[in-house]
Amino acid sequence: MPMDIRLGDVVRLRKQHPCGGYEWEVVRLGADIGIKCQTCGRRLLLPRRKFEKSVKKLVR
Ligand SMILES: [Zn+2]
């Protein structure tokens, strides 16, 4: 079931970023999901399927 994700949502991932952060903001939607680390500001692009598997929970 596809996840209902919107721009500006903050998600908590299962895996910790090397900077120590867990929370990411959704900055791009499409076949790939763009997320930005809330701790260090680094951006990542993940295929939607991988993104959905990586998300632990939706923070807002
Ligand atoms: Zn980070």
* Cα 11 to middle of ligand 1, angstroms: 13
- Count of domains for the chain: 1
pLDDT over 80 (residue 21): yes
pLDDT (tens digit per residue) in 28-55: 999 999 999 999 999 999 999 999 999 9
Beta strand 55-58 with 10-13: parallel, antiparallel or unpaired? antiparallel
In a domain, 1, yes or no: no
CA 27 to centroid of ligand 1, rounded, Å: 15
- CA–CA gap between residue 13 and residue 46 (Å, rounded): 12
Answer yes or no: is 3 within a domain. Answer: no
Average pLDDT, rounded, for the chain: 94
pLDDT of residue 4: 86
Print the domain residue range for 27: 10-58
CATH number of the domain within which 39 lies: 2.30.30
Which amino acid type is present at position 46? L
Q: Is residue 19 part of a domain?
A: yes
Ligand 1 centroid to residue 60 C-alpha, Å: 19
Note whether residue 21 is domain-resident.
yes
